[in-house]
Structure 1
Amino acid sequence: MLGDSAYKLALETKRTQTHLPSYNEALVHHLCREARHALNRIEESLVALETLPLSGQQDTRALAAQLAVLHASVKRTKRSLLAYHVQRLRFLKEIFWTVGTIPEEIKPRLSPAELDFFSHYAIAINRYRAPFIDVDLTALEVPPKDLYIEIRVLQDCGEIQLENGSLLLSKNSQHHVKRSDVEHLIAQGLLQHLA
């Protein structure tokens, strides 16, 4: 039935907000063919509408109703396809900002276009980042409120070099340090920021 495939894709998009399944190429291609077929039927109906005699009001209403249903079907299909792809691209952007590269276990799940998007996105961000040598744009999504923070060490990190000396980070120890010195370790999950 018209719209069933778009509904399946919308459900898949909703279910996959926390993980990235394999790209559903078969369903995407099916929806594209379905939309093209509906557009062809719209064109045929418009041609038929132009050739109808002025006295055929019943036929005109039937064709107008058919056009409305087909147009709504194409719009629904398009929205479902866009939602599916936007969700996947958001996930890829999140991977870039947290990890920096695509993990090997995720690569087989991506389409060639998604791999291409990721590489172009990384190039664009790195090109933007180039003039800011001393600033790590991936460090924080929210601006820091304090220059110094309290941290708890979750895993032994050994001795690290700070601006004003060195610091031994042993498991379960707590320290008051400058945020910029340890935020990369917080992002890796080795340290915990204590609020």
Structure 2
Amino acid sequence: MLGDSAYKLALETKRTQAHLPMYNEALVHHLCRETRHIMGELETLLQSLETIRDEPDADTRSVAAQLAVKHATVKRNKRCLLAYQAQRLRFLQNVFWQVGGVPEEIKPQLSPAELDFFSGYALAVNTYKAPFIDLDLTVSDLPPKDLYIEVRVLQDCGEVQLENGSLLLSKNSQHHVKRTDVDHLVSRGLLQHIDG
């Protein structure tokens, strides 16, 4: 039925705010084919409207109504497709700012175009921040409450170079360190900030 595919895609977009499921290529392609088919019908209706408009007793209301319905359907399909794509891209942008790259567990769920977007987005951000040697844009944008924090090591990180020397981060150890030295490790899930 007309609009069912767009409705399914809109529902999938709404359901996937917190996680990223497999890219629904079949539904996206079906919706694109349906939209192209409706556009062909629109062209045919426009041509028929042109021919019957010149007739003296022609009633163009039914053709105009069909045109309005089909045009609204095309616009709705496009909005649903754009919402689906935009939601997925926003999710990928958030992942980049949290992790700094594409986690291996979500790579199979991405389309080739999304992988290209992600690598292009990462390249643009890295190119932008390249002149700023000491600036890490992927850390939190909220100002810190404390200069030093207490962290617990969740995974062995080995020896890490800090501003004032180096530190061995072995699993289950706790350290009192400068926040800016370990923010990137906390955001990657290697260290846990202990509220104290």
Q: TM-score by structure 2 length? A: 0.84
CA 1:150/1:120 → structure 2, altered by over 3 Å: closer, same or farther?
closer
The whole-number CA distance in structure 1 between the counterparts of 2:23 and 2:48 is 39
In the alignment, what sits opposite 2:152? 153
In the alignment, what sits opposite 1:124? 124
8 Å CA contact 1:149, 1:194 repeated in 2: no
8 Å CA contact 1:39, 1:74 repeated in 2: yes
Deviation at 1:47, TM superposition (A): 1.1
CA 1:155/1:100 → structure 2, altered by over 3 Å: closer, same or farther?
closer
In the alignment, what sits opposite 1:55? 57
CA 1:34/1:94 → structure 2, altered by over 3 Å: closer, same or farther?
same
Query: Is the aligned partner of 1:192 residue 2:183?
Result: no
Give secondary structure in 2 for the equivalent of 1:192: strand
CA RMSD of aligned residues (A): 2.5
In the alignment, what sits opposite 1:2? 2
Gaps of 5+ in 2: none
The whole-number CA distance in structure 1 between the counterparts of 2:146 and 2:92 is 31
Question: Per-residue CA shift, 1:74-123, capped at 9, x if unaligned?
Answer: 01100110011111111221222222332333222211111111111111
The whole-number CA distance in structure 2 between the counterparts of 1:169 and 1:89 is 34
Deviation at 1:143, TM superposition (A): 3.2
Give secondary structure in 2 for the equivalent of 1:183: helix
8 Å CA contact 2:99, 2:187 repeated in 1: no
8 Å CA contact 2:153, 2:173 repeated in 1: yes
Question: Per-residue CA shift, 1:8-31, capped at 9, x if unaligned?
Answer: 011111111111111111111111
State the identity as a percent.
63
The whole-number CA distance in structure 2 between the counterparts of 1:74 and 1:13 is 18
8 Å CA contact 1:98, 1:138 repeated in 2: yes
In the alignment, what sits opposite 1:109? 109
8 Å CA contact 1:10, 1:84 repeated in 2: yes
The whole-number CA distance in structure 1 between the counterparts of 2:126 and 2:175 is 34
In the alignment, what sits opposite 1:25? 25
The whole-number CA distance in structure 1 between the counterparts of 2:80 and 2:129 is 34
User: Following superposition, which runs of at least 4 residues in structure 1 exceed 3 angstroms of deviation?
Assistant: 154-175
* Alignment coverage as a number of residue pairs: 191
The whole-number CA distance in structure 1 between the counterparts of 2:2 and 2:13 is 19
CA 1:31/1:17 → structure 2, altered by over 3 Å: closer, same or farther?
same
Name which of structure 1's ranges 38-47 and 154-163 shifts more when overlaid on structure 2: 154-163
Q: Which amino acid aligns with 2:77?
A: T
The whole-number CA distance in structure 2 between the counterparts of 1:123 and 1:167 is 30
In the TM superposition, 1:159-178 aligns within 5 A as 162-164=162-164, 171=172, 175=176, 177-178=177-178
CA 1:117/1:154 → structure 2, altered by over 3 Å: closer, same or farther?
same
The whole-number CA distance in structure 2 between the counterparts of 1:191 and 1:154 is 6
Q: TM-score by structure 1 length? A: 0.84
Deviation at 1:33, TM superposition (A): 0.9
8 Å CA contact 1:153, 1:191 repeated in 2: yes
Deviation at 1:136, TM superposition (A): 0.7
In the alignment, what sits opposite 1:68? 68
